[in-house]
Amino acid sequence: MSATAVASAALLAGALGAPATAADRTPSATPLKMTVSLRADLLKEAKADTATTARALGLGAQEELHVKDVVKDRDGTVHTRYDRTYQGLRVLGGDLIVHTAKSGKQLGVNRASKAELSLDTSPKTLKAAPKGATKVVWAPRATSPVLAYETVAKSVKKDGTPSELHTVTDAASGKRLARWDGVETGLGHSEYNGDVEIGTSPSSGGGFELTDADRGGHKTYNLDNSSAGTGALVTDDDDEWGDGTPDDPQTAAVDAAYGAAETWDYYKDVHGRSGIAGDGKGATSRVHYGNNYVNAFWQDSCFCMTYGDGAGNAAPLTALDVAAHEMSHGVTAATAGLIYSGESGGLNEATSDIMATAVEFYSNTDEDPGDYLIGEKIDINGDGSPLRYMDEPSKDGASRDYWSSDLGNTDVHYSSGPANHFFYLLSEGSGAKTVNGVDYDSPTYDDSTVTGIGIDKAAQVWFKALSEYMTSTTDYADARAATLSAAGDLYGEDSAEYQAVDAAWAAINVS
């Protein structure tokens, strides 16, 4: 595994794989390639209209909409995502998406909560606010909105992973309503992509730095075993980086920079999205976090990716599916905002596995070809087995294969199983199959046979559902509806693709 990265800013532009999809084969409901200025214009338009839109949706005078994201399809349909405030308080579960035809006609609305908002935000009897709390309105999917306090407690867990624990309590009773961690951890990894080109820039003091000018100025930092701060921007004197082994501290930085670049290119080339937040801005990556730290994580608060060096500091967790998994948490945060607990948390995790797998198939290097395994390059279990299997998630000993009513009570890394399984079935179909040399044998809940539509179409369906139909409170039943809407838009409701989406959900016990 010689991962000598030879690169310069000048060499890079457009050098990394343009996708093979021909524009004329692309359905008109796929997202338009969004430039930063087009997106800015659409956001500006939506922002100017928020009051009118709020009234048109029948929202009360106390409610305000705040534009979060906007997607425009090739056929001119615009999907505008809003957060909501009520009497100036943030409404958790107040997010909604408005779909508008090219003609200006409103096509529909997806709401995280359908409940009407009318509550006293300053009642006389109120529990004292916990320290550091923010008053919010908690509007979960199934019950009435209540006044609540949200606190964020920052700490570091025993294994060195930072934690930003969000707790929502009922402001009247003090009862805990929800809890989730804002630091979304996932996997472990080694490095490995062979010789790659990475985006670098000339350094002001001479030499080069790991700043990718072609991808929003993404920067890679070396924490040098610290677990705090930004670290030092990785620099080099001759623009040839790393030696393909963990002995050279630059090697992990090369893999991290490559992972960020491939993830950026995938979202841009395939889904027309410019950067994780869609605003054209690059994130940052930090390598060599802590000591013997066997994990990697994304933090929305610093818009940054962090990688440990693995067991014995000998196997940096910088493989592509880990990188793309973690950065896709940033995409989910900037779009559907799926709450990281219960069924929505499982769907959040699954989205990261699904998009990471799509990125891996897109990148498809000889050293790391596409597969439906997560973390197959890490050997985190010490026996060569991957972290997760999408064809039959229970093979990891903990994940669920099928939906059941208690699914929301399991850890989000296991309740992601059925959605990962759905994505495998939608891509490749049920039963035995070999893809890129890996053998799969995907079962179905009802012993039905599912015919796959290929990973490219399956990923189009999932991303469109994520960015245009899912909200913060989406559960498995909603995800089915969201993907059916997406497949209907893309391929028509009479299409084989639409039927396959339906069949794949039934095969994981969601119908």
Q: Which residues bind Ca ion (CB under 5 A)?
A: 236, 238, 240, 321, 360, 368, 371, 373, 376
Among candidates 131, 115, 143, which has minimal Cα distance to 59?
Answer: 115
| Contact of residue 269 among Zn ion, Ca ion, none (CB under 5-8 Å per partner type) | none
- List the structure tokens of 28: 């008109």
Minimum CB distance to Ca ion smaller for 34 or for 270: 270
Q: Which of 326, 349, 360, 428 is catalytic?
A: 326
- List the structure tokens of 307: 């990688």
CA distances for 87 relative to 35, 48, 91, 133, 143, angstroms: 34, 20, 10, 17, 20
Single-letter code of the amino acid located at 185: T
Each residue 297-336 as x (binds Zn ion by CB under 5 A) or -, in order, gives: ----------------------------------------
Minimum CB distance to Ca ion smaller for 455 or for 470: 455
Least distance CB 348 / Zn ion (angstroms): 7
Residues 160-199 that bind Zn ion (CB under 5 A): 184, 186
Distance (Å, whole) CA 79 – CA 58 = 18
Minimum CB distance to Zn ion smaller for 186 or for 375: 186
Q: Which stretch binds Zn ion (CB under 5 A): 85-93, 266-274, 344-352, 473-481?
A: 344-352
Cβ-count burial 449-477 (b if 16+ within 10 Å, e if not):
ebebbebbbbbbbbbbbbbbbbbbbbbbe
Distance (Å, whole) CA 110 – CA 112 = 7
| Contact of residue 197 among Zn ion, Ca ion, none (CB under 5-8 Å per partner type) | none
Least distance CB 153 / Zn ion (angstroms): 20
Tell me the residue number closest to Zn ion, measured at CB: 186
- List the structure tokens of 290: 């802590």
Least distance CB 271 / Ca ion (angstroms): 19
Least distance CB 345 / Zn ion (angstroms): 10
| Contact of residue 238 among Ca ion, Zn ion, none (CB under 5-8 Å per partner type) | Ca ion
User: Among this protein's residues, is 329 annotated catalytic?
Assistant: no
Q: At 237, is the secondary structure helix, strand, or coil?
A: coil
Sorted by sequence, the CB contacts under 8 Å of residue 49 that are 6+ apart come out as none
Minimum CB distance to Zn ion smaller for 263 or for 352: 352
Among candidates 190, 181, 176, 360, which has minimal Cα distance to 266?
Answer: 360
Among candidates 415, 407, 401, which has minimal Cα distance to 507?
Answer: 401
Q: Which residues pair with 31 in a beta bridge?
A: 73
Distance (Å, whole) CA 11 – CA 16 = 10
DSSP strands (E only) in 56-191 = 63-72, 78-86, 89-92, 96-100, 106-111, 134-138, 146-156, 162-170, 176-181, 183-185
Cα angle: 416, vertex 419, 422; to 5 degrees:
150
Minimum CB distance to Zn ion smaller for 162 or for 186: 186
Query: Is the dihedral angle over the CA atoms 154, 155, 160, 161 positive or is it negative?
Result: negative
Tell me the residue number closest to Ca ion, measured at CB: 321
Site membership for Zn ion, residue 399 (CB under 5 A)? no
Q: Which stretch binds Zn ion (CB under 5 A): 84-92, 172-180, 346-354, 381-389?
A: 346-354
Least distance CB 184 / Zn ion (angstroms): 5
Distance (Å, whole) CA 465 – CA 495 = 17
- List the structure tokens of 365: 């290097």
Least distance CB 325 / Zn ion (angstroms): 6
Radius of gyration of the chain (CA): 22
| Contact of residue 367 among Zn ion, Ca ion, none (CB under 5-8 Å per partner type) | none
Minimum CB distance to Ca ion smaller for 91 or for 458: 458
Least distance CB 328 / Ca ion (angstroms): 13
Minimum CB distance to Ca ion smaller for 30 or for 250: 250
Residues 350-379 that bind Zn ion (CB under 5 A): 352
For Zn ion (CB under 5 A), the number of binding residues is 3
| Contact of residue 73 among Zn ion, Ca ion, none (CB under 5-8 Å per partner type) | none
Minimum CB distance to Zn ion smaller for 268 or for 325: 325
Q: Which of 413, 428, 468, 497 is catalytic?
A: 413
Least distance CB 280 / Ca ion (angstroms): 28
Distance (Å, whole) CA 186 – CA 249 = 23
- List the structure tokens of 388: 């997760």
Query: Is the dihedral angle over the CA atoms 18, 24, 25, 26 positive or is it negative?
Result: positive
User: Among this protein's residues, is 413 annotated catalytic?
Assistant: yes
Minimum CB distance to Ca ion smaller for 326 or for 376: 376
| Contact of residue 352 among Zn ion, Ca ion, none (CB under 5-8 Å per partner type) | Zn ion
- List the structure tokens of 422: 């759905």
Distance (Å, whole) CA 415 – CA 444 = 17
Least distance CB 301 / Zn ion (angstroms): 16
Among candidates 282, 207, 246, 197, which has minimal Cα distance to 11?
Answer: 197
Residue 340 sits at φ, ψ, to 5 deg, of: -85, 45
Q: Under the rule (CB under 5 A), what is the footprint of Zn ion? A: 184, 186, 352
Known catalytic residues?
326, 413
